[in-house]
A and B are shown apart, each in its own frame.
Chain A
Amino acid sequence: MRGAIASAIVTHFDTATAAVEAALAAGASYADARLMSRSAERMLARNGEIADTTRTSDVGIGVRALVGSSWGFFATSDLDGGARRAGEQAAEIAAASARVPMRAARMVPAEPVVASWSNPVVTDPADVSESDKADLLVAATSAMREHGADVATGTLTFWDTSKWFVSSEGHRIDQRIREAGGGIEATAVGDGETQRRSYPNSMGGQLGTRGWELVEELDLVGNAPRVAEEARALLTATECPAGVTDVILDGSQVALQIHESVGHAIELDRILGWEAAYAGRSWLDLDRLGSLRYGSDLMSIAIDPTFPGALGSFGYDDEGAPAAKRMAVDAGTWVGVLAGRDSAALAGLDYAGSVRSDGWRRLPMVRMTNVGLEPGPHTLEEIVAATDDGIYMETNRSWSIDDRRLNFQFGCEIAYEIKNGKRGRMLKNPTYTGIGPRFWQSMDMLSSEIVPWGLGNCGKGQPGQVGHTAHPAAPARFRDVRVGVRA
C-alpha cells in the first residue's frame, strides 16, 4: 500500500512537471502547476431524519503561466495527456492577455522548496461509520424538535485534500489537509416571523483542520435542547431597542467582525484595486502602513497559518511559501497585509505567503489564512460585570459591509440586556452598525478566551471561489455603538 501511494505521488509530480514544461516550451518565462485531489462528505439531517448524504471527489490540474508581463491560467480534469495541453493553453491565454497588458509583472523572490506536509488528526472522519455520523445528527435534530423547534437541521462536513505543487523555479511540495466540522440549527416559526438559533455558530457550525475529535468536542446533542428553547423563546422576546449603547459581542461574532472589517481590508489585491469591480477596494492606503491607527491598544491581530487546528492552516501556500506568523495590527497600529508574490512586488513589500485557490479549477489568489486577535486580559464574566448599561449579542445572523470595508451592519441571532453588571432580558432581532476603524478604536475590554472560529464560506474572486479561513477571537466590549436598526 505504501508503495502504491509513493508511486501515485511520483506520478502526480511528473504530471505537474509535464504541465510546467509545456508552458515553458510554449513561451512562458515562469509557470507553476497544482495537481489537486479532494474528497468531501456532507451529511444533512432535518427534523430527526437524514435528508442528504453526498460524497464528492475530484482531481485535476491548474496551470499558471507568465508570458511577458501577462498571466494565463488553464485547468482540466483530464490528467491523461491533458496536463501538457493545460500548460500550453495557459501560455496561449497569457499571450492573449498581452493585447491589454499590465505593467511589468514581477514576483518577490522565493527559495525553491522541496517538502511534504500534513496536518495532524486524532481520528480520521473516514474511519467513523456512516451510522455513527447519522445517529449523531438524528439525535441532535430530534432533541431540538422535542424542545420546540419547528425546523431542526444539523450538518457534518469533511474534506480531505491532497496537493502536488511544482514550479519552474524548482518548487516540489506535496500537502495533505484534512478538515472537519459541523453544527445544528433550530428555527421557530411564529406569527409572521421566524427566529433561529445555531450552535456552535451559524453558517455550518465550527470547522477546523482537525478530525472527528472536533465534532465530538462540540457535543451537538447536549446543546440541542437549549438551542431549540432559545429559538422558541425569541418569538416572544422584546425587540432589541434602537439607540446608542455599549455592545458586548461573543467570540463568534467578533470573528465575523474581524473577517469583514479587517481580514478583507488587509488583502493586498484589494488595496491595489485588482478586486475593485466586484469584491471592492480597501479603505487602507499603503502609504500609511506602519503608522495608521486601526483600533485601540487592545487590538493586535495576527496573520497566522500555523495556528494548530484552525481552518485556515496549511504548511505552504499555493505559491510554495512556507506558513509563517506575521502581525497585521500591532497594539492598534496597522503593520501588515495578506499578500502574494506578484502583488507584494508591485507594492514594494518583501513578503507573500497568503495565496490559495479553492481547488485545481481556480486561479490562486490572495486569501485570508487565520486572521485573528491576540488574547486580551479579561474574561466574558468580567466584561459583563464591568458593564452598567449595554447589550450582549451572540451568533451572527446577517452581515453587510461596503465595498471599501468601512460601513458595516451586522445582525445577531440573540441578545440580552446588560444592566448593572448582570445579564437581563432576552432581546430579539439585534443589529449593530458602525464604521470599522471607529468601532475597533472603541474596543475597551477583550477576553482571553480565544477560539479559532472557522469560516468555510468566504466568497471572493471571479469566477467565484469559496475559501476556508479562521479567526481566532474572544468576547469583547465596544463603547457607544448604534444598535437596533430596522425597516
Chain B
Amino acid sequence: MSAIADAAARAVEAVTDRLPGAEVVVEVERAEDHLTRFADSAIHQNVADDTWSVGVTAHHEGRTLTVTSDLAGAGDGEALTALAERLVSSLPLAPRDPRWPGVAERAEVPALAEQPGTSPVERADAVAAFVDGAGGLPAFGYVRTERAHVAVATSGGQLATMLTCATAIDGIASLDGVDGVFRRRAHTLAELDPHAAGALAAAKARAAQDAVELEPGRYEVVLEPTAAANIVSTLALYGFNGRMALDGASFVEVGAEQLDPAITVVDDAPGWGVTIDGEGTPTQRHVLVDAGRSTMLAHDRRTAAEAGARSTGHGFGIGMPVPAHTRIEAGPQAPAPAAAPAHVNPAAAPLLPGAGASSRALLVSDFWYTRVLDPRQVTVTGLTRNGVWLVEGGEIVGAVANVRFTQSYPGALAPGQVLGVGPVAVTDPSSWSATAYGAPALHLASWNVTGNASG
C-alpha cells in the first residue's frame, strides 16, 4: 500500500475506532502546482507549491459533518488523529441529515503511470520559446504544470489512489493594444510547442489590426476551439449538472433530440487520469449527448439518491455534480484550405471555406466574461476577445472590433443550427481548477450580437 493510501485508510480507522458504526469517507491529496507567468515578454510571477490536505466526511446517528485540514505529509499521524478527534467531538452537534446517501463500496480502479513534472528552468525555457515565437510582439501568459496524487478510502471498503498530471500554455501576443491568443491543456509539456504557440498568437494580433465596428444583429459564426470550449463548460454546469436538473433549472431532457445531430458530447474523466471521484466512486467515460440526443445527467451519491439513480462518479465535493472533463467530439476529418491564413487556428481552418456563403460570417477566436442570464435556457451574455474577423464567401475580408453577444447556447446548437464541426477537439486549461473542457471549432448558423465596443 502506498503511503498516501495508508494515510487515507488510517484516517478512516481513526474515526471508526472512536465512533463504531460511523460511515466515513476520506480523501487525502498531495498537490504540486507550478505556474510561471509572464508579461511584456518577461517572467513577472513564478510560483510553486507542494501541499498535503485531508478531508473527512462522517455520518453517525443521523448526523453528517465534513472537516478538512492540511497535513505536513503522508506520515503526519498527529494531524490525522487531531482531525479525527475534532470531527468526533463536533459530529453530535451537527445538524440532522435525513438524506445521507451512504458511502461507496469497494470497486476496482485502474492504476496509472507516473508522469514527469517540470523544473522552474524548463518552464522558463518554455516561456522564452513562446516569447521568441511571438517575433518581437510583447507576450503575456503562463506555462503551468500540475500533479495531484489522491487517495480515497471509505468505511464501505473502498480504497483507491490516482495520479493526475496536466500542463498548459495560455498566452497572448499584443500589437497596439490588440491581442492574439493560444491556449491549450495537455498531459505533458512535451505535447506542446511553445514557439508555435507564440507564433500563432502573434499572427492573430497582427491580423486583428484596423478592426471595424460591427452593427448588432444575427451573424453566422465560426468559433475557434478556444471560444467553443466555453459552450461546453457552460452546458456542463447549467445543463448536465444533476442538481440543476433536480431543481427544475436544467434544459436537459434525457432522451430528447435537443441538439443538432452533428453534436456528440462526452465526459471523459479517466482520459485525464481522474479515475475516482471524491466519494470513492470510479469514474467512467460517459456520452452526455449522442448525435444530438441528450442521454444522461451527472450525479454524485446525494443527487443520485434523490433522483433514484446511481452515482455517475461526479462527486467532487462542491455540492454540484458537474461534468468536468467534457468535450464536444470532433467532426469528420477534413483538409485545411491550401492557403489558410496564418492567424486562423489550424483546428478551425477546415471550416473556413464553407463560411459566409450566403450571409456574413464571423470568425471568433475567444470568448470573455460569459455569464448566464437565464439558467433554464442557458442564455448567456459575454464578449469576444483576442481576434474577430468578418468572413465572406469563405474568405477573411477584415478584422472586426470585439462585440457583445446575448445568446442561448442550446439554441445555438439546436437541430439545423450546426453547419460544421472541426476535425480536432482542443482542450482548454483552467487557471481555477483541474477541469478540462474541450471542443472542436464549430460553424454555427446564427449568433446574436447585441452590442459593439461603443456600447
Give A131 to B96 CA distance when docked, in angstroms. 10
Inter-chain contact total with CB atoms closer than 8 Å = 268
Give A247 to B42 CA distance when docked, in angstroms. 44
A73 proximity list for chain B (CB < 8 A):
45-48
B128 proximity list for chain A (CB < 8 A):
99-100
CB distance from A60 to the nearest CB of B (A): 6
CB distance from B342 to the nearest CB of A (A): 20
Q: Is B65 an interface residue (CB 8 A)?
A: yes
Which parts of B131-182 form the interface with A (CB within 8 Å)? 131, 138, 140-142, 144, 170-172, 174, 177, 179
Q: Is A459 an interface residue (CB 8 A)?
A: yes
A277 contacts B140, C-beta separation under 8 Å: yes
Contacts A77-B70, A400-B369 given: A464-B402 contact, CB under 8 Å? Answer: no
Which parts of A421-474 form the interface with B (CB within 8 Å)? 429, 431, 433-435, 438, 459, 461-464
B46 contacts A130, C-beta separation under 8 Å: no
Which parts of A136-182 form the interface with B (CB within 8 Å)? 138, 150-151
A400 contacts B383, C-beta separation under 8 Å: yes
B140 proximity list for chain A (CB < 8 A):
273, 276-277
The residue on A at minimum CB distance from B432 is: A464
A150 proximity list for chain B (CB < 8 A):
247-248
Q: Is A106 an interface residue (CB 8 A)?
A: no
Q: Is A117 an interface residue (CB 8 A)?
A: no
Q: Is A293 an interface residue (CB 8 A)?
A: no
Give A53 to B66 CA distance when docked, in angstroms. 6
Give A138 to B96 CA distance when docked, in angstroms. 11
Q: Is A78 an interface residue (CB 8 A)?
A: yes
Q: Is B335 an interface residue (CB 8 A)?
A: no
CB distance from B328 to the nearest CB of A (A): 21
Contacts A100-B41, A151-B247 given: A55-B90 contact, CB under 8 Å? Answer: yes
Other-chain contact of A44, B96, B121, B319 (Cβ < 8 Å):
B319
B42 contacts A76, C-beta separation under 8 Å: no
Size range of the chain B interface in the assembly = 35 or more
Which of A15-23, A187-195, A328-336, A347-355 touches B?
A: A187-195
Q: Is B301 an interface residue (CB 8 A)?
A: no
Q: Is A409 an interface residue (CB 8 A)?
A: yes
Contacts A97-B46, A435-B454, A487-B379 given: A409-B141 contact, CB under 8 Å? Answer: no
Q: Is B240 an interface residue (CB 8 A)?
A: no
- Mark contacts of A113-144 with chain B using CB atoms, 8 A cut-off: 1 yes-contact digit, 0 otherwise: 00000000000000001110010001000000
B53 contacts A77, C-beta separation under 8 Å: yes
B373 proximity list for chain A (CB < 8 A):
397-398, 411, 429, 431, 486-487
Contacts A53-B65, A76-B51, A79-B72 given: A463-B170 contact, CB under 8 Å? Answer: no
The residue on A at minimum CB distance from B120 is: A96
B96 proximity list for chain A (CB < 8 A):
49-50
Contacts A49-B98, A77-B52 given: A59-B70 contact, CB under 8 Å? Answer: yes
Q: Is A482 an interface residue (CB 8 A)?
A: yes
Q: Is A475 an interface residue (CB 8 A)?
A: no
CB distance from B135 to the nearest CB of A (A): 16
Contacts A82-B72, A130-B95, A487-B448 given: A433-B50 contact, CB under 8 Å? Answer: no
Other-chain contact of B47, A49, A95, A100, A363 (Cβ < 8 Å):
A363
CB distance from A152 to the nearest CB of B (A): 11
B404 proximity list for chain A (CB < 8 A):
400, 402, 407, 409, 433
Contacts A97-B36, A192-B376, A462-B37 given: A277-B451 contact, CB under 8 Å? Answer: no
Contacts A74-B49, A464-B431 given: A194-B42 contact, CB under 8 Å? Answer: no
The residue on B at minimum CB distance from A397 is: B373
Which of A26-34, A86-94, A316-324 touches B?
A: A86-94
B402 contacts A94, C-beta separation under 8 Å: no
B407 proximity list for chain A (CB < 8 A):
487
B49 contacts A76, C-beta separation under 8 Å: yes
CB distance from A300 to the nearest CB of B (A): 25
A277 contacts B43, C-beta separation under 8 Å: no
A103 contacts B455, C-beta separation under 8 Å: no
B42 contacts A100, C-beta separation under 8 Å: yes
B95 contacts A134, C-beta separation under 8 Å: yes
CB distance from B402 to the nearest CB of A (A): 7
Residue among B42, B45, B53, B144 with max Cβ neighbours from chain A (10 Å):
B45
B46 contacts A93, C-beta separation under 8 Å: yes
Which parts of B15-72 form the interface with A (CB within 8 Å)? 33, 35-53, 64-72
Q: Is A301 an interface residue (CB 8 A)?
A: no
A409 contacts B44, C-beta separation under 8 Å: no
Q: Is B123 an interface residue (CB 8 A)?
A: yes
B406 proximity list for chain A (CB < 8 A):
409, 485-487
Q: Is B415 an interface residue (CB 8 A)?
A: no
The residue on A at minimum CB distance from B119 is: A96
A52 proximity list for chain B (CB < 8 A):
66, 319
Q: Is B411 an interface residue (CB 8 A)?
A: yes
Contacts A273-B39, A407-B453, A409-B404 given: A193-B374 contact, CB under 8 Å? Answer: yes
CB distance from B324 to the nearest CB of A (A): 15
B33 contacts A463, C-beta separation under 8 Å: yes
CB distance from A202 to the nearest CB of B (A): 12
B40 proximity list for chain A (CB < 8 A):
273
Q: Is B99 an interface residue (CB 8 A)?
A: yes
Give A435 to B383 CA distance when docked, in angstroms. 14
Give A80 to B43 CA distance when docked, in angstroms. 31
B45 proximity list for chain A (CB < 8 A):
71, 73, 274, 363, 365, 462
A398 proximity list for chain B (CB < 8 A):
371-373, 381
Which parts of A271-317 form the interface with B (CB within 8 Å)? 272-278, 280-281
A280 proximity list for chain B (CB < 8 A):
368
Q: Is A362 an interface residue (CB 8 A)?
A: yes
Residue among B68, B128, B138, B448 with max Cβ neighbours from chain A (10 Å):
B68
Q: Is B377 an interface residue (CB 8 A)?
A: yes
A187 contacts B72, C-beta separation under 8 Å: no
Q: Is A230 an interface residue (CB 8 A)?
A: no
B64 proximity list for chain A (CB < 8 A):
53
| Residues of A that sit less than 8 Å from B by CB | 43-44, 49-60, 62, 70-80, 82, 89, 92-97, 99-103, 129-131, 134, 138, 150-151, 187, 189, 192-194, 272-278, 280-281, 361-363, 365, 397-403, 406-407, 409, 411, 429, 431, 433-435, 438, 459, 461-464, 482, 485-487
| Residues of B that sit less than 8 Å from A by CB | 33, 35-53, 64-73, 86, 90, 93-99, 119-121, 123-125, 127-128, 131, 138, 140-142, 144, 170-172, 174, 177, 179, 247-249, 319, 368-377, 379, 381-383, 385, 402, 404, 406-408, 411, 431-433, 448, 450-451, 453-455
A-B pairs, top 3 by smallest CB distance, nearest first, are: A96-B120, A50-B95, A189-B248
Beyond contacts A273-B140, A400-B382, A485-B450: 6 other A-B pairs, Cβ-Cβ < 8 A, are A56-B67, A57-B67, A75-B49, A77-B72, A274-B45, A407-B455
